[in-house]
Amino acid sequence: MGPMQTKTSGGCTYAVTLIDDFSRHVTVYFMKKKAEVLDKFKKFKADMENATGRKIKRLRSDNGGEYTGRLFKEYLSKQGIRHEKTVPYTPQQNGLAERMNRSLVEMARCMLYHEGIDKKWWAEAVNTSAWIINRIPNTVTVKTPYEIVYQKKHQLKNLKVFGALGYGHIPDEKRRKLAPRRSSAASWATRMVSRDIAS
């Protein structure tokens, strides 16, 4: 996904969407350059294999240079992962990823527009969209993608409206006598989603 016209606060203009075909669980990583895809895939592979106890055996992608470079090919070969590439100019062969990207961008656009939030927060909106998609059932699975991958129910009790005003406590050691005890900030989801955005 990208390049986006607006950089994130961490300087990212690209995103890679990685989807588990069985559960439909989506993970989004944000990048400054497309060349970071291999590192993001390695992280995704480790996280998914730790969560599920199953090895990734197949990767489907387009023919982008970030997927067809020597280092990426060598890594997949060493890991025993079969790489299925789509025929050039046939995005429908990678329909799941194309539809997911469209859904993520449309949801993010709606969140930003509805709350009147600046476009520079697109990555937080996309990440929140993925968080939501992973916690709702889809037409393929009875359970949510989150439940299938992590084998536990998700908690929605702390879910807040994207962009809603929230307050955070300022610790004693970081404030003066007459300074406020809390600060306001926009809520991006139920937890901080910017850990991968800033890096």
List b or e across 172-191, with b for residues whose CB sees 16 or more CB atoms inside 10 angstroms.
eeeeeeeeeeeeeeebbbbe
Indicate the domain borders of the chain.
14-156
Per-residue pLDDT of the chain (199 residues; tens, 9 = 90+): 889 999 998 999 999 999 999 999 999 999 999 999 999 999 999 999 999 999 999 999 999 999 999 999 999 999 999 999 999 888 888 889 999 999 999 999 999 999 899 999 999 999 999 999 999 998 888 899 999 999 999 888 777 888 887 777 788 888 887 777 777 766 654 444 433 343 3
SS3 (DSSP) at 17? strand
Question: What superfamily does domain 14-156 belong to in CATH?
Answer: Ribonuclease H-like superfamily/Ribonuclease H (3.30.420.10)
Rounded to two decimals, the pTM is: 0.84
Token pair 């993520």 in the structure block, residue:
104
* Cα(35)–Cα(104) distance, integer angstroms: 22
CA-closest candidate to residue 162, choices 135, 196, 195, 128:
128
